[in-house]
Amino acid sequence: MSYNFYAFMDRMKYIKRWSLMRSVREENIMEHSQQVAMLAHALAVITNKIYGGSVDEEKCVLYAVYHECSEVMTGDLPTPIKYFNSSIKGAYKDIEARACQKLLAMLPEELREGLEPFVMADMSCEEYKILKAADRLAAYIKCLEEHRSGNTEFEKAKKSIEDDLHSRNMPAVEYFMEKFIPPFLLTLDELEGGL
Protein backbone atom coordinates (compact mmCIF):
# COMPACT_ATOMS: atom_id res chain seq x y z
CA MET A 1 0.00 0.00 0.00
CA SER A 2 1.26 3.49 -0.78
CA TYR A 3 0.45 6.76 0.98
CA ASN A 4 -0.24 10.15 -0.61
CA PHE A 5 0.80 12.54 2.19
CA TYR A 6 4.23 13.55 0.89
CA ALA A 7 3.07 13.70 -2.74
CA PHE A 8 0.46 16.22 -1.59
CA MET A 9 3.10 18.15 0.38
CA ASP A 10 5.22 18.32 -2.78
CA ARG A 11 2.31 20.09 -4.51
CA MET A 12 2.86 23.11 -2.24
CA LYS A 13 5.17 24.41 -4.97
CA TYR A 14 2.14 24.89 -7.25
CA ILE A 15 0.07 27.02 -4.85
CA LYS A 16 0.71 30.70 -5.52
CA ARG A 17 0.50 33.38 -2.84
CA TRP A 18 -0.71 36.97 -3.19
CA SER A 19 -3.21 36.06 -5.91
CA LEU A 20 -5.02 39.41 -5.79
CA MET A 21 -1.81 41.43 -6.06
CA ARG A 22 0.40 42.19 -9.03
CA SER A 23 3.78 40.80 -8.02
CA VAL A 24 7.17 41.41 -9.58
CA ARG A 25 8.09 37.88 -8.51
CA GLU A 26 5.61 35.09 -7.86
CA GLU A 27 5.85 33.21 -4.58
CA ASN A 28 4.53 29.75 -3.75
CA ILE A 29 3.61 28.27 -0.38
CA MET A 30 6.52 25.81 -0.39
CA GLU A 31 9.15 28.55 -0.57
CA HIS A 32 7.08 30.68 1.80
CA SER A 33 6.99 27.85 4.36
CA GLN A 34 10.77 27.45 4.18
CA GLN A 35 11.23 31.18 4.78
CA VAL A 36 8.76 31.15 7.67
CA ALA A 37 10.60 28.17 9.19
CA MET A 38 13.87 30.10 9.10
CA LEU A 39 12.24 33.21 10.57
CA ALA A 40 10.42 31.21 13.26
CA HIS A 41 13.72 29.63 14.24
CA ALA A 42 15.35 33.06 14.40
CA LEU A 43 12.56 34.45 16.59
CA ALA A 44 12.72 31.41 18.87
CA VAL A 45 16.50 31.70 19.27
CA ILE A 46 16.22 35.45 19.93
CA THR A 47 13.46 34.79 22.48
CA ASN A 48 15.62 32.21 24.29
CA LYS A 49 19.11 33.70 23.98
CA ILE A 50 18.43 37.45 24.14
CA TYR A 51 15.30 37.55 26.30
CA GLY A 52 15.76 34.49 28.52
CA GLY A 53 12.74 32.62 27.14
CA SER A 54 12.18 28.89 27.10
CA VAL A 55 10.33 28.21 23.86
CA ASP A 56 10.88 24.97 21.97
CA GLU A 57 12.88 26.09 18.94
CA GLU A 58 12.34 22.85 17.01
CA LYS A 59 8.59 23.02 17.57
CA CYS A 60 8.55 26.56 16.14
CA VAL A 61 10.33 25.34 13.01
CA LEU A 62 8.06 22.32 12.54
CA TYR A 63 4.93 24.43 13.01
CA ALA A 64 6.26 26.67 10.24
CA VAL A 65 7.08 23.77 7.90
CA TYR A 66 3.47 22.54 8.04
CA HIS A 67 1.57 25.81 8.62
CA GLU A 68 0.30 26.07 5.03
CA CYS A 69 -0.17 22.36 4.29
CA SER A 70 -3.98 22.56 4.19
CA GLU A 71 -3.66 24.85 1.16
CA VAL A 72 -2.71 21.92 -1.07
CA MET A 73 -6.43 21.14 -0.82
CA THR A 74 -7.98 24.56 -0.27
CA GLY A 75 -5.68 26.81 -2.30
CA ASP A 76 -4.49 30.12 -0.88
CA LEU A 77 -7.54 32.20 0.01
CA PRO A 78 -6.51 35.89 -0.04
CA THR A 79 -6.33 37.52 3.41
CA PRO A 80 -8.98 40.20 2.71
CA ILE A 81 -11.48 37.44 1.94
CA LYS A 82 -10.33 35.04 4.67
CA TYR A 83 -10.79 37.69 7.39
CA PHE A 84 -13.70 39.63 5.84
CA ASN A 85 -15.95 38.78 8.79
CA SER A 86 -16.11 36.33 11.68
CA SER A 87 -18.44 33.94 9.84
CA ILE A 88 -16.10 33.56 6.87
CA LYS A 89 -13.06 33.34 9.14
CA GLY A 90 -14.68 30.60 11.26
CA ALA A 91 -15.85 28.64 8.23
CA TYR A 92 -12.42 28.84 6.62
CA LYS A 93 -10.70 27.69 9.83
CA ASP A 94 -13.03 24.69 9.82
CA ILE A 95 -12.21 23.93 6.17
CA GLU A 96 -8.48 24.17 6.95
CA ALA A 97 -8.84 21.79 9.91
CA ARG A 98 -10.74 19.28 7.78
CA ALA A 99 -8.08 19.49 5.07
CA CYS A 100 -5.36 18.84 7.67
CA GLN A 101 -7.27 15.85 9.03
CA LYS A 102 -7.69 14.49 5.50
CA LEU A 103 -3.95 14.88 4.90
CA LEU A 104 -3.08 13.13 8.16
CA ALA A 105 -5.29 10.22 7.08
CA MET A 106 -2.90 9.82 4.12
CA LEU A 107 -0.13 8.66 6.47
CA PRO A 108 0.45 5.18 7.86
CA GLU A 109 -1.12 4.97 11.31
CA GLU A 110 2.29 4.57 12.97
CA LEU A 111 3.51 7.93 11.54
CA ARG A 112 0.45 10.07 12.26
CA GLU A 113 1.33 10.57 15.92
CA GLY A 114 4.68 12.06 14.93
CA LEU A 115 3.22 14.60 12.49
CA GLU A 116 -0.19 15.42 13.91
CA PRO A 117 1.08 17.89 16.57
CA PHE A 118 2.63 20.01 13.82
CA VAL A 119 -0.08 19.69 11.18
CA MET A 120 -2.79 20.36 13.81
CA ALA A 121 -0.88 22.97 15.80
CA ASP A 122 -1.76 24.04 19.35
CA MET A 123 -2.83 27.62 18.67
CA SER A 124 -2.61 28.62 22.34
CA CYS A 125 1.10 27.95 22.88
CA GLU A 126 4.03 30.36 22.65
CA GLU A 127 5.57 28.45 19.76
CA TYR A 128 2.44 29.02 17.69
CA LYS A 129 2.54 32.75 18.47
CA ILE A 130 6.14 32.79 17.24
CA LEU A 131 5.09 30.97 14.07
CA LYS A 132 2.35 33.55 13.41
CA ALA A 133 4.81 36.42 13.94
CA ALA A 134 7.28 34.73 11.57
CA ASP A 135 4.50 34.33 9.01
CA ARG A 136 3.79 38.07 9.20
CA LEU A 137 7.51 38.86 9.00
CA ALA A 138 7.71 36.83 5.79
CA ALA A 139 4.78 38.82 4.38
CA TYR A 140 6.51 42.06 5.42
CA ILE A 141 9.73 40.98 3.70
CA LYS A 142 7.71 40.21 0.55
CA CYS A 143 6.31 43.76 0.68
CA LEU A 144 9.83 45.17 1.03
CA GLU A 145 11.01 43.08 -1.93
CA GLU A 146 8.17 44.33 -4.11
CA HIS A 147 8.78 47.93 -2.98
CA ARG A 148 12.49 47.64 -3.74
CA SER A 149 11.54 46.46 -7.25
CA GLY A 150 9.42 49.57 -7.82
CA ASN A 151 6.05 47.88 -7.33
CA THR A 152 3.75 50.17 -5.31
CA GLU A 153 0.99 47.51 -5.22
CA PHE A 154 2.18 46.33 -1.79
CA GLU A 155 2.45 49.73 -0.03
CA LYS A 156 -0.83 49.45 1.92
CA ALA A 157 -0.08 45.83 2.87
CA LYS A 158 3.42 46.84 4.03
CA LYS A 159 2.03 49.49 6.39
CA SER A 160 -0.71 47.21 7.70
CA ILE A 161 1.68 44.30 8.33
CA GLU A 162 4.27 46.56 9.98
CA ASP A 163 1.58 47.90 12.35
CA ASP A 164 0.45 44.35 13.08
CA LEU A 165 4.01 43.22 13.86
CA HIS A 166 4.54 46.10 16.31
CA SER A 167 1.15 45.49 17.94
CA ARG A 168 2.16 41.97 18.95
CA ASN A 169 4.41 43.32 21.73
CA MET A 170 6.98 40.59 21.14
CA PRO A 171 10.52 41.67 22.02
CA ALA A 172 12.00 39.13 19.59
CA VAL A 173 10.03 40.67 16.72
CA GLU A 174 11.21 44.17 17.63
CA TYR A 175 14.79 42.91 17.87
CA PHE A 176 14.53 41.25 14.45
CA MET A 177 12.95 44.35 12.90
CA GLU A 178 15.75 46.55 14.24
CA LYS A 179 18.73 44.27 13.58
CA PHE A 180 17.80 42.24 10.49
CA ILE A 181 15.14 44.04 8.43
CA PRO A 182 17.23 47.04 7.20
CA PRO A 183 19.54 44.84 5.06
CA PHE A 184 16.50 43.57 3.13
CA LEU A 185 16.41 47.03 1.52
CA LEU A 186 19.97 46.71 0.21
CA THR A 187 21.17 45.57 -3.19
CA LEU A 188 23.53 42.62 -3.53
CA ASP A 189 26.47 44.99 -4.04
CA GLU A 190 25.55 46.87 -0.87
CA LEU A 191 25.19 43.60 1.07
CA GLU A 192 28.59 42.41 -0.17
CA GLY A 193 30.13 45.78 0.69
CA GLY A 194 29.57 44.93 4.33
CA LEU A 195 31.79 41.84 4.09
Q: 0.95 cut: is pTM over it?
A: no
145-170 residue pLDDT tens = 999 999 999 999 999 999 999 999 99
What's the confidence (pLDDT) of residue 65? 97
Sign of CA dihedral 60, 64, 65, 70: positive
Angle separating helix axes 29-49 and 126-148, nearest 10 degrees: 120
What's the confidence (pLDDT) of residue 5? 96
In this structure, are residues 15 and 29 in contact, taking their beta carbons and an 8 Å threshold?
yes
What's the confidence (pLDDT) of residue 194? 59
Closest among 27, 35, 23 to 149, alpha carbons compared: 23
**Separation between Cα atoms, residue 144 and residue 151, nearest integer Å:** 10
Give the residue, 191 or 48, on which the prediction is more confident: 48
Give the mean pLDDT of 167-194. Answer: 93
30-85 residue pLDDT tens = 999 999 999 999 999 999 999 999 999 999 999 999 999 999 988 776 676 666 67
**Separation between Cα atoms, residue 20 and residue 8, nearest integer Å:** 24
